[in-house]
Amino acid sequence: MASPHSAVKPAAQAAPRRSMLSWLTFDRFLLIVVLLIVFVTAANMGAQSDTWWLLRTGELILHTGHIPTTDVFSSTVRGGYWPNHEWLAEVLFYAWYALGGLPLLFLACAGLTTAAWYGMIWLGEGPGWARAGALLIGLASQELIWSVRPHLFSLSLLVLVLILRPARRFHWLYPLMFLLWANLHAGVAFGGMVLGIVCLVALIRDGALWYAIGWELPRSPGERAVHSIARALACSDSAHWLVVLVASGLATLVNPLGVGLWGYILASFGDQTRSYLSEWQPPNLSWPASYPFFVLMGLVVLVAVWSRKTWAGQRDWTLLALALVFGLLGLRSIRHTAFFTIIAVPLLTRPFRDRAPRALRSIRQGTGHALIILVLACGGALLVGRLWAETARQPLSADVVNAVRMCDGALYNTYDTGGPLIWLMPERPVFVDNRQDPYPADLLFQAVIAEQQGDYRDLFSTYHVRCALTPYQQALAQALRRDGWQEVGHDQQLVVLRHP
């Protein structure tokens, strides 16, 4: 005879499945699809020239137990100061690479990026379809700088700083977060901007700032300063954020550069050597890669005007102030547009704050959503696998690497080939590479002139160059051939030439 419980068990097992399928409403389905698109796109970000010297430095730190702050890779500035502000990111990248090669490194970076976008869902307001739409609009403006580089940590931590803002009981995490951030990437400055603006908004709302600048009592500047501090301390919100700001700022000093980290950050805003790099150039209408940023800025302005009568509370005013600051930074450099996106996406959902989500729960609808997600996930996996197969090769061909080994004497290489050379041939000092910071501006500009105009003689004579790695059709390669330099080896893009 069948057990009396035999008919109950299948029904009990089916109940969680039905509950899960009915949970997958249209709004949640859209959000999952957008996150899947983000993950697949991020997993295909690939390695750049920077990636390779980052990996080599991470390996060096793990093997020696020493964090280098002087140049160890070049022949031109060897022993010079290198503000290695991203040493912890280098260690993490190499650890992921050592455990699973490039696939695990790409997956880890894709997971980091997707986590940031999941956090942006939490920062948004209104129904899921509104948040999903805002994420899709913002996606085009961030994809530009996605690559295996430490700024991915800054993007993710900036989202976390914003998520923790209303959770006061977790604010003790801020100093720990900034301690970690200061050793991952100099983008910690953006986190400092957020805390500074949050603190400023709190001071304004508590009235302490107006008191400080004398809008309430006609006192002398010294008296106003003393009374403003007393009043700020009396206002719990202002005092709280002042403590968080100071504690987090002090935590950033625990890094290999110490106070020098902030000197480096301030100096980078006026560094002219970055002006010829595309990611540091300001967006403009003649550059199609700038269009998503301009569209996003226009939409934020429209939303701000449309919802102007409903802005209220610390969250709203903080996001508006941050949008202004990060928008100005984005106009200064397209590299910073990704940080503006993090602020803009939650703002785009503001007009839909009072819209109710589509709460209809249906097993049939949930089943259809689950099948679509499964199909998209399989397609994304195939796409990622195919692209990984194409990028699994070494950053330089075997022909070029062998030719460089055969070529004796001091080596000249272009800016973008420096990173791969550091990874593939650590025993061979490079001329320049993407680290950029150790190299004087004059050296980098002379290299650009040599490559674009073929005027190389003074530069090569100064550094006793006897071997050159350069693009095959570049003006420098043509000038060297005319002067009798001999070809050692080449591939479809690069050629190695040596002095006759």
pLDDT in tens, 427-439: 999 999 988 889 9
| pLDDT of 71 above 50 | yes
Same domain, 334 and 407: no
Q: Identify the pLDDT of residue 5.
A: 47
Q: How many CA atoms lie within 13 A of 118 on its CB side?
A: 11
Mean pLDDT of the region 92-98: 96
Q: Identify the pLDDT of residue 441.
A: 84
Mean pLDDT of the region 408-434: 92
**Lowest mean pLDDT across 239-248, 276-285, 300-309, 385-394:** 385-394
| pLDDT of 74 above 50 | yes
Same domain, 277 and 421: no
Q: Residue 64: pLDDT band by 50, 70, 90 thresholds?
A: very high
Q: Identify the pLDDT of residue 117.
A: 93
More confident residue, 429 or 225: 429
| pLDDT of 143 above 70 | no
Q: Identify the pLDDT of residue 222.
A: 63
Same domain, 206 and 299: yes
Core vs surface per residue 99-117: b (16+ CB within 10 A) or e = eeebeebbbbbbebbbbbb
| pLDDT of 215 above 70 | no
- Residue bearing tokens 């007009």: 351
Integer distance in angstroms from the first to the last C-alpha of the chain? 96
Q: Identify the pLDDT of residue 20.
A: 63
The answer to whether position 378 is within a domain reads: no
Is 185 in contact with 154 (CB distance < 8 Å)? yes
The answer to whether position 379 is within a domain reads: no
Mean residue pLDDT across the chain: 84
Same domain, 326 and 435: no
Q: Are strands 410-413 and 465-471 parallel, antiparallel or unpaired?
A: parallel
Same domain, 109 and 235: yes
Q: Which of 316, 331, 352 corresponds to the end of one domain? A: 352
Same domain, 47 and 195: yes
Same domain, 346 and 455: no
Residue 257: partners with Cβ closer than 8 Å, 6 or more residues away: 69, 83, 84, 85, 264
| pLDDT of 329 above 50 | yes
Cross-strand bridge partners of residue 465: 410
Q: How many CA atoms lie within 13 A of 93 on its CB side?
A: 29
Q: In what order do the strands lie in the sheet with 410-413?
A: 410-413, 465-471, 494-498, 486-490
Whether the full predicted model's pTM is greater than 0.75, yes or no, is yes
Is 93 in contact with 51 (CB distance < 8 Å)? yes
| pLDDT of 209 above 60 | no
Angle at 215 between CA 213 and CA 217, to 5 degrees: 100
Q: What are the phi and psi torsion angles at 494 (to 5°)?
A: -120, 155
Quote the tokens at residue 176.
């720990």
Is 50 in contact with 437 (CB distance < 8 Å)? no
More confident residue, 232 or 441: 441
Same domain, 191 and 51: yes
**Lowest mean pLDDT across 8-12, 122-126, 163-167, 291-295:** 8-12
How many structural domains are present in the chain? 2
| pLDDT of 208 above 70 | no
List C-alpha distances in Å: 198 to 161, 189, 244, 321.
11, 14, 10, 9
Cross-strand bridge partners of residue 44: none
| Summary count for the chain: helices (H), strands (E) | 21, 4
Same domain, 407 and 340: no
Q: Which of 337, 352, 367 corresponds to the end of one domain? A: 352
Query: What span, in angstroms and rounded, lies between the C-alpha atoms of 123 and 162?
Result: 8
**Lowest mean pLDDT across 43-57, 211-225, 486-500:** 211-225
Which segments of 143-290 does DSSP mark as H helices, in order?
Answer: 151-164, 173-184, 188-206, 208-212, 221-234, 236-251, 260-268
Quote the tokens at residue 441.
């501006």
Q: Identify the pLDDT of residue 60.
A: 96
Q: Identify the pLDDT of residue 256.
A: 93
Is 279 in contact with 324 (CB distance < 8 Å)? no
The answer to whether position 150 is within a domain reads: yes
| pLDDT of 56 above 50 | yes
Q: What's 288's DSSP letter?
A: G
More confident residue, 235 or 317: 317
More confident residue, 20 or 31: 31
The answer to whether position 236 is within a domain reads: yes
Is 480 in contact with 414 (CB distance < 8 Å)? no
Query: What span, in angstroms and rounded, lies between the C-alpha atoms of 202 and 193?
Result: 14
Cross-strand bridge partners of residue 494: 471
**Lowest mean pLDDT across 64-68, 101-105, 123-127, 356-360:** 356-360
Q: Which of 324, 352, 380 corresponds to the end of one domain? A: 352
| pLDDT of 154 above 90 | yes
Expressed as residue numbers, the domain containing 241 is 21-352
Mean pLDDT of the region 283-307: 88
Q: Identify the pLDDT of residue 272.
A: 62
The answer to whether position 111 is within a domain reads: yes
The answer to whether position 393 is within a domain reads: no
| pLDDT of 218 above 60 | no
More confident residue, 459 or 143: 459
The answer to whether position 131 is within a domain reads: yes
Q: Identify the pLDDT of residue 391.
A: 64
Cross-strand bridge partners of residue 410: 465
Same domain, 413 and 331: no
| pLDDT of 393 above 90 | no
48 closest CA partner among 138, 119, 124, 145: 145
Q: Identify the pLDDT of residue 228.
A: 59
479 closest CA partner among 493, 489, 458, 492: 458
Same domain, 313 and 419: no
The answer to whether position 63 is within a domain reads: yes
Sign of CA dihedral 75, 182, 289, 29: positive
Query: What span, in angstroms and rounded, lies between the C-alpha atoms of 35 and 113?
Result: 10
Mean pLDDT of the region 44-67: 91
Same domain, 304 and 420: no
